[in-house]
Structure 1
Amino acid sequence: MTLGGIDLVALMAMLMVASTPILLAATGELIAEKAGVLNLGVEGMMIMGAIGGFAGAVMTGSPALGFLAGACAGAAMALVFGFLTQVLLSNQVATGLALTLFGMGLSALIGKGFEGVRPPATGKLDLGGLADLPVLGPMLFRHDWVVYLSLALIVAVWLFLHLSRAGLILRAVGENHDAAHALGYRVVMVRLAALAFGGALAGLGGAYLSLVRVPQWTEGMTAGAGWIALAIVVFASWRIERVLLGAYLFGGVTVLQLRLQAAGYAIPVQLLSMAPYVITILVLVIISARHRRGAQAAPAALGRIFHASR
């Protein structure tokens, strides 16, 4: 199936791969913000996950251990942020920006010894006869396990937030941390757990970039993916289903601009490179505006400092 010289089946298959890092990072940030914490350090957590996952996979020869190392690196960065903002009560915006700068610098230092190295290949998940289906097989059923994990997490997070007691507590902390504290909930511990989960997903997204999306280590390879994840959460009105839409929209435009370049369309490469960022933000703004009346607002305690003695 081709349209204008572009293979639509290959385009859809690449879309799922390109969207996965953003989807993982945005899902993790959604959980953190639902708990009332604004973490602008997603880019730093992703880049640390990228080098952590790459180094882990190269040194052990196991992609699975590499992904685990990437998730741990992201979670460790998030817990540093959590300690500074939830225990030492530092400003969340400034600390998040500092976390990104710290992650970019530290990853560049660690990654010097891994430049030009190829990581072990991450195999595709064997889905039997589904992979042999015409059209749908190549598009949907020939991917690695991380792609399907990212989709399963969307369902799991929705169920967690809406149908579980723990999800209700998380949302209560994000809406009114003083009331949650008065009811006996440990606000700081809930927020640290949410941050660790979000950091692990951001690190996993970064590891996916360096092990699958672009199987090599390059300094600054996240290239703004963490900031796009942050924007998607905001413009998706803190709703997990819209996070999925936003991530796949960004991934789709990213892949399309690469395909247009490969097909030889006479469009300035600068316009094509900026298109994923511009179009994603514009469409998500339009979606938010159309659903303004029914859209879920930001958590009321988002970014506010909690002090148990007050």
Structure 2
Amino acid sequence: MTALDTSASAAPAATTPATRSVVSAKTPILLSVITIGLGAILLLGSQEGDTTFRLASSNDFFALPEVTVPANATGWMAVILMAVVSLEAWRRLQVTRSATPLWMIIGFSVVAMTGFLAWAGADETIPVVGLLGGSILLAVPLVFGALGGVLGERAGVVNIAIDGQLLAGAFAAALFGSITGSVWGGLIGALAAGALVALILGLFAITYFVDQIIVGVVLNVLVIGVTSFLFTQVMVPNTASLNSPPRFSRIAIPGLSEIPLVGPVLFRQTAIVYLLYVMVAVVTWSLYRTRWGLRVRAVGEHPKAADTVGIKVNLTRYRTIVLGGAIAGMGGAFYTLVSVPQFNRELTGGAGYIALAAVIFGKWDPIKATLAALLFGFASNLQGVLSAIGSPVPSEFMLMLPYVVTIFAVAGLVGRSRPPAAVGQPYRKG
């Protein structure tokens, strides 16, 4: 081969364009919008005075001192730091073509929330322990629902019916808890109710190949109608015997519960919250470290390949979706066995859809979905705390805050994510 031939054959390789990864601009845009938004709030509603953050509670090993900061100065300092992080996010996007790291997003969120709270709590005291502890409580049913959603979708079934599973669990917990006089009896009833709703979802979605999203929405509406009817016709006339369940009492873990700030928030909770801690760890370990978890992920990613190696795809999906429904039912039990000692119509208030958003925000990972649910719980509790201290933030805005956080989180902070490849696709053997 001549030198000319060699150069000619090498030419196409030389002109082949290099591939470049596409990095989304959603996160830098969202960080910039939040920074501008907080700056606008400080400009339009200047707050004079100091804000006190109370970090201690009773029975701590030692009391952390209260932190008092100037409201306006702290807010503007937060805006400056947020602007620096936003500029760095844009620099990474334009120069190095890299995504904004998670630690930077977390730091930005902490700084933004500190600045906002300092402005909103001028001349008031913000109970940090109460804010965080209440966030945990409000997030408990969301975490249970998100875990159920992660399991179902990892197996390839879209679980839109999380809200129905939560509501059915709340109803069954109140009913069976009242009949048996035991919180554990109510919890078992909630498990069964959530599993039953999931089984109906599986029957139509897996066996009869009905569109999974439509089935989930219909099940949510059906559960609302059934529980409302039974509440009116059965529970209301027999409130004392059928709608007066016992409640889980708080259990302080010796030693851990006295750790300042962390102890009151995490280790002075009820048994169902401690069960949640265990459930998150078990689901995560099982999904990524066991043969069962490998099979679940296989049928959610490539069911045909799983079938060829002997995995029973539809049976695996059935088992996983029923297990996920039982876990979501436990979240419903939290409403009637911890929060409110009785069942009411539409008690969940659409929490199942927030849990579904946590699944997407958490990229179908149990740990990340749990963190997303905690974020939504914090946003929900924040409105109550700010209303209690007389914050100048309009009450209408505070009511919509959890849903605004949900939209921003899913639309911007989630970045690029890929659901399980076969999610929503029925499997027909052969």
Q: Give the Cα separation in 2 of the matches to 1:282 and 1:12.
A: 21
For 2:159 and 2:410, how far apart are their aligned partners in 1?
20
Residues 234-272 of structure 1, C-alpha deviations (whole Å, 9 max, x = no match): 122112221011010011111110111111223332211
Q: Please list the CA deviations of residues 154-179 of structure 1 after superposition, one character each: whole Å capped at 9, or x if unmatched.
A: 22222112111111111000001111
- What is the correspondence of 1:143-182 to structure 2 with a 5 Å cutoff? 143-182=269-308
Report the structure number with the largest CA radius of gyration: 2
Q: Distance in 2 between matches of 1:151 and 1:114?
A: 32
After superposition, the Cα gap between the structure-2 partners of 1:133 and 1:236, relative to the gap in structure 1 and judged at 3 Å, is closer
2:220 counterpart (100, 103, 115): 100
Alignment of 1:237-256 (within 5 A): 237-256=363-382
Mean Cα deviation higher: 122-131 or 231-240? 122-131
Question: Could you tell me how far apart the structure 2 residues matched to 1:75 and 1:270 are?
Answer: 37
> In the TM superposition, what is the alpha-carbon distance from 1:284 to its structure 2 partner?
4.1
Cα distance in 2, alignment partners of residues 286 and 242 from structure 1 = 15
Counterpart of 1:303 in structure 2 is: 424
1:62 is displaced (CA, Å) by 0.5
1:65 equivalent in structure 2: 185
The answer on 1:36 being equivalent to 2:36 is: no
Bigger shift: residues 247-256 or 122-131: 122-131
Name 1:114's counterpart in structure 2.
Answer: 235
Number of the residue aligned with 2:133: 13
Match of 2:317 in 1: 191
Q: Which whole-Å deviations, capped at 9, do the CAs of 1:103-122 have from their partners, x for residues lacking one?
A: 11111122224356442121
Q: Which runs of 5+ in 1 are unaligned?
A: none
Q: Quick one: distance in 1 between partners of 2:398 and 2:364?
A: 29
Q: Following the alignment from structure 1 to structure 2, what is the Cα–Cα distance between the partners of residues 273 and 214?
A: 20
Which residue, out of 224, 232, 240, partners 2:350?
A: 224
1:128 aligned counterpart, secondary structure:
coil
Aligned-pair distance for 1:11? Answer: 1.5
What is the Cα deviation at residue 91 of structure 1? 1.5
Q: Distance in 2 between matches of 1:17 and 1:109?
A: 28
Whichever residue aligns with residue 169 of structure 2, its letter is G
SS of residue paired to 1:143: strand
One-letter amino acid of the counterpart of residue 303, structure 1: G
The answer on whether the counterparts of 2:248 and 2:271 sit within 8 Å (CA) in structure 1 is no
String of CA shifts for 1:6-35, please: whole Å, max 9, x gaps.
Answer: 211111111111111000000111000000
Equivalences, count: 304
State the identity as a percent: 34
- Which of 330, 355, 358 is matched with 1:204 structurally? 330
* Unmatched 5+ stretches in structure 2: 1-52, 55-117
Matches of 1:95 and 1:33, distance apart in 2: 14
Residues 245 and 342 of structure 2 are in contact (CA less than 8 Å); yes or no, is this contact kept in structure 1?
Answer: yes
Instruction: Give 1:134 deviation, angstroms.
Output: 3.9
Q: Following superposition, which runs of at least 4 residues in structure 1 exceed 4 angstroms of deviation?
A: none
- How far residue 213 of structure 1 moved from its aligned partner, in angstroms, is 2.2
Contact 1:18 1:251 in 2 (8 A): yes
How far apart are the structure 2 equivalents of 1:299 and 1:100? 23
Which whole-Å CA distance do the structure 2 matches of 1:76 and 1:57 have between them? 18
Question: In the aligned structure 2, how far is the partner of 1:49 from the partner of 1:234?
Answer: 23
Would the aligned equivalents of 1:51 and 1:110 in 2 still touch at CA under 8 Å? Answer: no
- Give 1:50's aligned amino acid: A
CA–CA distance in structure 2, aligned partners of residues 126 and 136 of structure 1:
12
Q: Distance in 1 between matches of 2:289 and 2:190?
A: 30
Once residues 411 and 287 of structure 2 are traced to their aligned partners in structure 1, the CA distance between those partners, rounded to angstroms, is 24
- Secondary structure (helix, strand or coil) at the match of 1:179 reads helix
The Cα of 1:124 is off from its aligned counterpart by: 1.9
Q: What is the Cα-based RMSD across aligned positions, in Å? A: 1.6
Distance in 1 separating the partners of 2:403 and 2:244? 29
Instruction: Return the offset for 1:205.
Output: 0.6
Distance 1:173 1:274 in 2: 38
Alpha-carbon distance change, 134 to 288 in structure 1, aligned in 2, over 3 angstroms = closer
Q: C-alpha separation between the residues in 2 aligned to 1:155 and 1:217?
A: 30
- 2:428 is matched by which residue type in structure 1? H
Partners of 2:148 and 2:162 within 8 A in 1: no
Alpha-carbon separation, structure 1, partners of 2:407 and 2:187: 29
Q: Secondary structure at the match of 1:6?
A: strand
Matching residue's letter, 1:302:
V
